[in-house]
Structure 1
Amino acid sequence: MQSFRTELENPIVEKDILDLERKIALFRDGKIDEEKFRSLRLARGVYGQRQQGVQMVRIKLPYGRVTSAQLRRICKVSEEYSIGRLHITTRQDIQIHFVSLDRTPELWAELEKDDVTLREACGNTVRNVTASETAGIDPKEPFDVTPYADATFRYFLRNPICGEMGRKFKMSFSSSGEDNALSYLHDLGFIAKVKTVDGQEVRGFKVLLGGGLGSQPRHADAISDFVETDQIIPFTEAVLRIFDRHGERARRNKARMKFLVKDLGIETFLDLVEKEKKALPYSTFPIEFEAYEAAKTLPNPESPTLDSAPGLDFELWKLTNVLPQKQTGYVSVGVRVSLGDFYLDQARPLADLVEKYASGEVRLTLRQNILIRDVREDLVPFFYQELKKIGLAQRGYNTLGDITACPGTDTCNLGIASSTGIAVELEKVILDEYPQYLQNTDLVIKISGCMNACGQHNMAHIGFQGMSMKSGKTVIPALQVLLGGGNLGDGNGRFADKVTKVPSRRGPQALRVLLDDFEKNAGGKDFLGYYDQQGQIYFYDLLKELSDASTVTEADSVDWGHEEAYEVAVGVGECAGVMIDLVATLLLEALEKLELGKTALEEGRWSDSIYHHYAGLINAAKALLLSDGTSTNSYANIISLFDEKYVQNGKIDLGSSFADKVYQINQHEPTPEFAQAYAKQAMEIYSLLKTFREAEVEA
């Protein structure tokens, strides 16, 4: 690998990027284990693709905000390092595909020139902090959640607590009780609220904890109807510390926080959170919002000339793609991006358009679309005209015809069936046969290529999950049909029921059957009311003929978007940063964490120093346990097992138990004195453990 110069102003970011370059070189030289290296690159947004030898790079865009300059920068990077296609995810990120691993450090450096990061976009980290795309313009919002989402993102980026947890952690901020950031399916969800105290309006959030999708969806618990804004970051930090310490680390499919909350019980979990507060660097963390709100201005550009008068197509588009704002005289324009994929010849003109005639930014949405904000009402025909020129003027924004789908078998290792292929076909069915649904915003279709639910299929009114099924000895692509999910608002939601499985090729007909029956038998009810009225068995019977595997034909063996017969080809998933730790690697990592702790100590970051030294001790103890074949499944488990295997029997003399030493972390405030004492103790224990291991190897 040839080294490059980053020329970045931020030394922390520069060090991060150069570290990635150095570790890629070590990996190429065979000095870092492949599985361990996977964990390292995932935490830097570099994700293995289904196709060998190339990577998907996930660009982390907090709450989906992208300025014109940032969008141009992403286009430049995609043009130089990728294939020119940008993919919007259901977490408001952008992904680019087919990137060479060796070029990811310089790609990252290019992005950082406009304050765009890859850090912790994948892996066992705090993932992108999402928020309502309408935050700041929503007529129903009590206040703009943008500065609170931004502060949360920045506080936990590179935070030592959450860079290497047992599994990923997701947060969202909803601007109003409509909960369009879907708090109920997040590890932590926040819904903006206000209340009056002594005649003063106080800002806060309704807080939900422990939600998630995947193969075992769990509805988050509402733990408080109102937490003041200055408590949000301390509370979140305490939650993350408990998750990091007690969360599962061995069984990947049980490692999300929803399982920890379920196992401990919500009261026990919250009691641990409360006890952790003493160790936090801040008891309150006021979030600056006045300056952000005061700096906001509305654009007032000169009116451009239209090429021609608007026609019927414009009127139809306006019905679904123009949204009201709370700012008088301004609206937002919804840009429907089919399957979240758009291209450089669309992105660059879009960046210019919003810079000149709107607020100079767009927000990526949870439904893989784009929202242009602060458009003066009289400019709406012009925006339609310009969007039409670049192929971004499809009507039906956020309607039934606007289907959400993950990449599935196109690029993902875990994809079982083509989610994008069937999504294209279903959109055709709606456009050609059910155009009235292009104005229906009360029905949602979502599709995932596997059970991990990246397309959020199990919270949709109509969901499809990619899978396979057998017809005799032939394996064919199939779709699990799920019905009855949906967002009910204010932190309440429902998950869809699994109804039946149909061959993928019959997916369009399954949709026709469902929509025809809905129109015939709903009796004025919405879809959820209709589903509850008919019941799960009714829909199983309704689709029974389509699910009959004995009637499949040769055509059913070819998945949508493919020409060859289907083959099951599922690789190793990287959604959760799969890891295989080696003893030497763990000891090296322990030392690296201790060195990070030393640096933090020198810089006066007492809490960070303490946590780095804590993590270093855990890694060193885990290395010794691994060396004698002892399996562990959480940090807390490592601490207790190390005492049992090494301290209580006198193999290693620490002067007291390992638990007593380590757990000082949550028994003291993070003062300079304690940070220095904890660092000194950690280095002494590490030296003892390293010496023990060396003697063990020599023996």
Structure 2
Amino acid sequence: MNTTEQYKQNKHPLDVIDDVYEYAEDGLTFEQIEDRAGDGEWERLKWAGMYAQKQEGYFMIRTKVPGGKLTPEQAEVIGECAQEYAVAPEEYGGEEQNELWGDAYVDITTRQDIQKHWIRVEDVPEMWERYDEVGLTTVQGCGDSARNVLGCPAAGLDDHECFNAQPVIDAVSEYFTGNREYANLPRKFKLTITGCKHDCAQSQINDIGLVPAKKELDGESLYGFHARVGGGLSDGPRMASELDVFIEPEDAIEFCRAVAQTFKELGDRNNRGVCRMRYLVEQMGHETFEEAIRDRCTIDLPSAGDGLTEGYRGDHVGVHDQKQDGLTYVGFNVIAGRMGGDEFAEAARAAKKYGTEDASVRLATDQNFLISHIPEENVDDLLAEPFAQEYQPDPGPFSRGAVGCTGNEFCNYAIIETKKRTKRWARELDDRIDVPDDIEAIRMHMSGCSASCAQPQIADIGFRGETVKLDDEDGSDIVEGMDFGLGGSLGTDNEFLDWIESAVPADAVIPALEQLFEAYNADREDGEAFYAWCRRIDNARLRTIMQGADAPVARGVAHGD
């Protein structure tokens, strides 16, 4: 049994929520928290949605948003709480802590969560009280349990869906949140549920992915779900396997419970490096894993019907007609997912001002957000709002597809800075590189380490942070750099990218990309996406193209190698 499992045996991780109230009331420092509860408390605090920042005394706190769907009231509270509590101390720069965003900002994540930084434990109970008033929670935003349940951010809005799966998302999320029986799994447990044909919720890289299907049962044609299991990224990426099951919407909770039970009983609790569910599915084989689920399921699961997934979209930036007459939803581009808490609150107020009573704010897995139920005649006024000037729905292709993790600004695992770099690079690349007019987005994902929080393996261009030793005639320098990958995507032609060049100094990346896109534009076949071109071209040739840049693309080595 690994150390984390011992921590969870010593005290059920959900009990930490009561502890937070005590720590806040007593005004405990980090040192005093550890003296009282031991160093295992830092692990258990994740079940409260709290991660200790690298700056001692402060937390990152994660708000779960099932399916990414927020009411304007909920979104406004999130923004206001960021303004009030996510405030950097003067010793770390105060309002100028970050040169691009200041402080008091929110981060939209690839799991449709909201993260806030600089949170003090004494402020958490008051934040939770404000959250309770509007139906928000941070419980199990982190930890070895069911995380936020993903969904299509345009659920109920767009005609590319077979049916609206948001009620199923809400029901599954409610079942697992606070459920002590399934709050101590071998590792994190990621679910996605969608009725969307375009798999916007990324079923191929989640532990469970429920996608739309149709089947004839007892003479009646029914909509429901097919299931994919065992997907994931990080150091051991795996595309999910299809099971031979059909799940009616009312049975989705029981199916997900049976999968969680299987993982709980059979998952590895010894080697934390290989205890995600994808390793269990790979070890058992998906057919044997399916048998184990059926053995633990209290309902009979029919065999699969007709799958209705047509591909992968994952992008909702722009002004789009809703299936409701006269209404639109507007997708705003938030490069790297970070925006001011005041701006997020302004967006929420704009949703109320210009939208119908059904207006909502939706978070997307590409770190952007939508405002729904805007009458056509109000769109121009919405886009004229001050917050919208920075997040316009018609960005360049690199800005549109840019995703960045937290990076070494706050994260204890990250090797490089990511948020500022992602935003600056995206805008510089939009200025410097010509992309074919029919390509709306170039997915450029930057992770500060190998944990894949920015999902680099599924991007056109993926980066994984490295510390690089760069040798030249003047000696050696240690600089920030990254492994450089090309050719990833989800969908019917899904593949993880290939890591083409390792330990590329950060300053050499943009020149290398210029060389690649010059070759792509010259050699592209009709309608060929950038990731498809990267797959068609031999990796050695891609490497040669990159090394043609007037920059030290291949002169670095990972520091420590």
8 Å Cα contact 1:161/1:240 also seen in 2: no
- The residue aligned with 1:522 is 524
- State the alpha-carbon separation in 1 of the partners of residues 540 and 553 from structure 2: 19
8 Å Cα contact 1:17/1:105 also seen in 2: no
CA shift digits 1:405-442 (9 cap, x unpaired): 11111211111112223312321223312365687335
Q: Percent identical across equivalent pairs?
A: 27
8 Å Cα contact 2:546/2:553 also seen in 1: no
- State the alpha-carbon separation in 1 of the partners of residues 121 and 282 from structure 2: 38
- The residue aligned with 2:171 is 151
Question: 1:394/1:29 Cα in 2 relative to 1: closer, same or farther (>3 Å)?
Answer: closer
Of 134, 137, 140, the match for 1:117: 137
- The residue aligned with 1:544 is 547
- The residue aligned with 2:415 is 416
- The residue aligned with 1:292 is none
**Per the alignment, in what secondary structure is the counterpart of residue 384 of structure 2?**
helix
Question: 1:469/1:399 Cα in 2 relative to 1: closer, same or farther (>3 Å)?
Answer: closer
Give the counterpart letter for 2:509 in structure 1: G
8 Å Cα contact 1:401/1:431 also seen in 2: no
CA shift digits 1:586-631 (9 cap, x unpaired): xxxxxxxxxxxxxxxxxxxxxxxxxxxxxxxxxxxxxxxxxxxxxx
- State the alpha-carbon separation in 1 of the partners of residues 323 and 214 from structure 2: 17
2:478 corresponds to 1:493: no
Of 34, 38, 63, the match for 1:34: 38
Give the counterpart letter for 2:510 in structure 1: P
Of 327, 332, 356, the match for 1:330: 327
**Per the alignment, in what secondary structure is the counterpart of residue 126 of structure 1?**
coil
8 Å Cα contact 1:208/1:224 also seen in 2: no
Of 222, 226, 234, the match for 1:206: 226
Of 42, 49, 53, the match for 1:45: 49
- State the alpha-carbon separation in 1 of the partners of residues 437 and 61 from structure 2: 33
- The residue aligned with 2:367 is 368
- The residue aligned with 1:350 is 347
Give the counterpart letter for 2:21 in structure 1: E
2:482 corresponds to 1:479: yes
* Residue 221 of structure 1, CA deviation: 0.2
* Residue 257 of structure 1, CA deviation: 0.4
2:432 corresponds to 1:433: yes
Of 179, 186, 189, the match for 2:199: 179
2:92 corresponds to 1:72: no
| TM-score of the superposed pair, with normalisation by structure 2 | 0.83
2:138 corresponds to 1:128: no
- State the alpha-carbon separation in 1 of the partners of residues 529 and 348 from structure 2: 38
Question: 1:267/1:394 Cα in 2 relative to 1: closer, same or farther (>3 Å)?
Answer: closer
**Per the alignment, in what secondary structure is the counterpart of residue 246 of structure 2?**
strand
**Per the alignment, in what secondary structure is the counterpart of residue 130 of structure 1?**
coil
Aligned 1:269-308 pairs, distance under 5 A: 269-277=289-297
2:446 corresponds to 1:447: yes
Question: 1:425/1:267 Cα in 2 relative to 1: closer, same or farther (>3 Å)?
Answer: same
Moved more, 508-517 or 19-28: 19-28
Question: 1:391/1:474 Cα in 2 relative to 1: closer, same or farther (>3 Å)?
Answer: closer
8 Å Cα contact 1:320/1:439 also seen in 2: no
* Residue 327 of structure 1, CA deviation: 1.9
* Higher helix proportion: 1
- State the alpha-carbon separation in 2 of the partners of residues 430 and 274 from structure 1: 50
Q: Which has the larger radius of gyration?
A: 1
Moved more, 538-547 or 123-132: 538-547
* Residue 355 of structure 1, CA deviation: 1.1
Question: 1:139/1:398 Cα in 2 relative to 1: closer, same or farther (>3 Å)?
Answer: farther
* Residue 360 of structure 1, CA deviation: 3.1
CA shift digits 1:337-389 (9 cap, x unpaired): 12211113312221121112213321011111111112222222222112566
CA shift digits 1:294-346 (9 cap, x unpaired): xxxxxxxxxxxxxxxxxxxxxxxxx9611232222222111111221111331
8 Å Cα contact 1:401/1:438 also seen in 2: no
- State the alpha-carbon separation in 1 of the partners of residues 396 and 174 from structure 2: 31
Question: 1:16/1:398 Cα in 2 relative to 1: closer, same or farther (>3 Å)?
Answer: farther
Of 98, 103, 111, the match for 2:123: 103
Give the counterpart letter for 2:20 in structure 1: L
CA shift digits 1:498-534 (9 cap, x unpaired): 1002111112112212221111111222223322321
- The residue aligned with 2:61 is 57
Question: 1:387/1:361 Cα in 2 relative to 1: closer, same or farther (>3 Å)?
Answer: farther
Question: 1:183/1:397 Cα in 2 relative to 1: closer, same or farther (>3 Å)?
Answer: farther
- State the alpha-carbon separation in 1 of the partners of residues 347 and 48 from structure 2: 28
CA shift digits 1:82-139 (9 cap, x unpaired): 1221111111111110111233233222222211101000111110001010111121
8 Å Cα contact 2:16/2:45 also seen in 1: no
| Contiguous gaps of at least 5 residues in structure 1 | 1-13, 285-318, 558-566, 569-699
- The residue aligned with 2:5 is none
Moved more, 87-96 or 16-25: 16-25
2:337 corresponds to 1:340: yes
Give the counterpart letter for 2:340 in structure 1: Y
Q: CA-atom RMSD, angstroms? A: 2.8
Question: 1:29/1:240 Cα in 2 relative to 1: closer, same or farther (>3 Å)?
Answer: closer
- State the alpha-carbon separation in 2 of the partners of residues 414 and 169 from structure 1: 20
Question: 1:30/1:411 Cα in 2 relative to 1: closer, same or farther (>3 Å)?
Answer: closer
2:183 corresponds to 1:163: yes
Question: 1:160/1:124 Cα in 2 relative to 1: closer, same or farther (>3 Å)?
Answer: same
**Per the alignment, in what secondary structure is the counterpart of residue 191 of structure 1?**
strand
CA shift digits 1:153-193 (9 cap, x unpaired): 01111112321222101011233231111100000001122
Question: 1:355/1:242 Cα in 2 relative to 1: closer, same or farther (>3 Å)?
Answer: same
